[in-house]
């Protein structure tokens, strides 16, 4: 039994104040990641109708003057690469500017500023701007980190807007390479290796085949990239998984893979905007070079406030200290909401 979408449902008895204290049963669910076995909880609330749209322009105006990433300041105050790494000091492609992260996460750690303009609304980020930003990130890896044993995994992360922990409104990516992947990433790498040893098969090929067969979470394709909702979401709003079939490591990604990814991201942004969600995290999970047991993939996790009136975070004790993801929506329900944006 190599691949299973296992879940346990729990039922709570209570007297419902909304219905004259009639006894009801309320369902919750614990799901197990089909590869890592890690759990995530899902409590089914009413169908989510979205938030009122937030106008980010006042926040953009208030932060413009002190922004280090605006075209007029980025050249003056951000760090430069040593000449033996990037002789021109900062790597540029289109509007993208990449420079070293003054507070690095690892040996190779940079920031990619995506636009010249301080604030470009999510739906106005162009395919060209996004393609250039991701392409430049991989050029940075090629030029500075390739072949370094301390840079096996080339990562691109995106914290978009304050609910997603962005420290600047100005759109930027975190770009770093590491030989020490984070906990979830390491679970995926180790699990994929063990799955290969146990079954002789590639987990991700089996996973995509099974998700496609089930059809409950499968959204669709943009070129070479497959999109589905995440069975065990990290985010309270669920996550969206995008998969690059047969691309074991991020060093194997081709330019057209990135533009196919950008095409899907732009569809996702329209979905997020339709719900009034303006913040998300994006992570890329690559495998090691030369391995045939992993397919590079990513997650997009929408972020929100549990109570915007008091600025409540969407990560509480359960997620933060028990390291137990919690989502308010079934990934299958989320898939039905997203699918029209991919048709």
- Residues forming contacts to Zn ion in the complex (CB under 5 A) are 67, 69-70, 118, 170
**Which backbone phi and psi does 45 adopt, to 5 degrees?**
-95, 180
Give the residue with the Cβ less far from Zn ion, 90 or 170. 170
Least gap, CB of 168 to Zn ion (angstroms): 7
* Helices 331-338, 255-274: crossing angle, 10 deg rounding: 100
Find the angle CA(80)-CA(175)-CA(232) to the nearest 5 degrees: 165
Nearer Cβ to Zn ion (72/84): 72
At its nearest, how many Å lie between Zn ion and the CB of residue 157? 19
At closest approach, how far in Å is the CB of 77 from Zn ion? 12
CB 118, min distance to Zn ion, A: 3
DSSP string, 290-308: T-SS---EEEEEEE--SBG
Distance of closest approach, residue 21 Cβ to Zn ion, in angstroms? 55
Nearer to Zn ion, 73 or 266 (CB): 73
CB closest to Zn ion, residue no: 67
Residue 67 or 304 with smaller CB distance to Zn ion: 67
Kindly compute the dihedral angle of the four CA atoms of residues 68, 70, 76, 80, in this order, to the nearest 10 degrees. Answer: 80
Query: 70 or 236: whose CB is closer to Zn ion?
Result: 70
For the chain, how far is it from start to end, CA to CA, in angstroms? 34
Residue 168 or 232: which CB sits closer to Zn ion? Answer: 168
Min. distance of Cβ 248 from Zn ion in angstroms?
Answer: 37
Residue 341 has what DSSP assignment?
G
Question: Do β-strands 108-113 and 172-178 pair in parallel, antiparallel, or remain unpaired?
Answer: antiparallel
Where are the strands (E) in the chain, listed by range?
A: 7-16, 22-32, 39-43, 91-93, 96-100, 108-113, 153-160, 172-178, 218-222, 225-229, 240-243, 279-285, 297-303, 326-327
Whether residue 304 contacts residue 18, with contact meaning beta carbons closer than 8 Å, is answered with no
276: left (phi over 0), alpha (psi -120 to 50) or beta: left
Inter-residue contact 244 to 202 (CB < 8 Å): no
Cα 223 from Cα 235, distance rounded (Å): 26
User: Toward Zn ion, which CB reaches closer, 68 or 182?
Assistant: 68
Q: How far is the CB of 62 from Zn ion (least distance, A)?
A: 12
DSSP output for 50-91: -PPPP--HHHHHHHHTT-SSSHHHHHHHS----TTT-TTSSE
CB-nearer residue toward Zn ion: 129 or 334: 129
In the complex, least distance from residue 60 CB atom to Zn ion, rounded to whole angstroms: 8
């Amino acid at each position: 039994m190599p691949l299973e979408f296992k879940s346990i449902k729990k039922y709570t008895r209570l007297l419902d104040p909304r219905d004259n204290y009639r006894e009801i049963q309320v369902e919750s669910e614990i799901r197990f990641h089909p590869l890592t076995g890690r759990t995530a909880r899902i409590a089914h609330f009413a169908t989510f109708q979205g938030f009122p749209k937030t106008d980010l322009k006042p926040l953009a105006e208030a932060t413009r003057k002190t922004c280090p990433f605006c075209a007029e300041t980025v050249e003056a105050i951000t760090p430069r690469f040593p000449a033996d790494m990037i002789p021109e000091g900062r790597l540029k492609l289109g509007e993208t500017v990449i420079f070293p992260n003054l507070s690095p996460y690892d040996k190779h750690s940079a920031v990619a500023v995506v636009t010249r303009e301080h604030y470009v609304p999510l739906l106005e980020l162009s395919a060209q701007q996004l393609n250039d930003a991701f392409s430049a990130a991989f050029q940075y890896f090629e030029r500075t980190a390739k072949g370094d044993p301390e840079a096996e995994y080339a990562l691109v992360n995106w914290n978009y807007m304050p609910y997603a922990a962005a420290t600047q409104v100005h759109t930027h990516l975190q770009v770093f390479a590491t030989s020490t992947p984070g906990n979830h990433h390491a679970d995926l790498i180790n699990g994929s290796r063990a799955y290969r040893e146990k079954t002789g098969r590639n987990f991700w090929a089996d996973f995509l085949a099974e998700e496609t067969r089930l059809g409950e979470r499968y959204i669709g394709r943009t070129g070479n990239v497959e999109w589905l909702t995440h069975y065990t979401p990290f985010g309270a709003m669920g996550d969206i998984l995008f998969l690059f079939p047969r691309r074991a490591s991020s060093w194997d990604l081709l330019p057209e893979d990135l533009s196919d990814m950008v095409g899907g991201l732009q569809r996702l942004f329209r979905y997020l905007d339709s719900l009034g969600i303006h913040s998300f995290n994006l992570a890329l999970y690559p495998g090691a070079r030369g391995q045939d047991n992993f397919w590079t993939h990513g997650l997009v996790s929408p972020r929100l406030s549990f109570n915007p009136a008091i600025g409540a975070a969407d990560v509480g004790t359960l997620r933060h200290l028990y390291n137990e993801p919690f989502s308010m929506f079934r990934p299958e329900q989320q898939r039905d909401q997203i699918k029209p944006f991919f048709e």
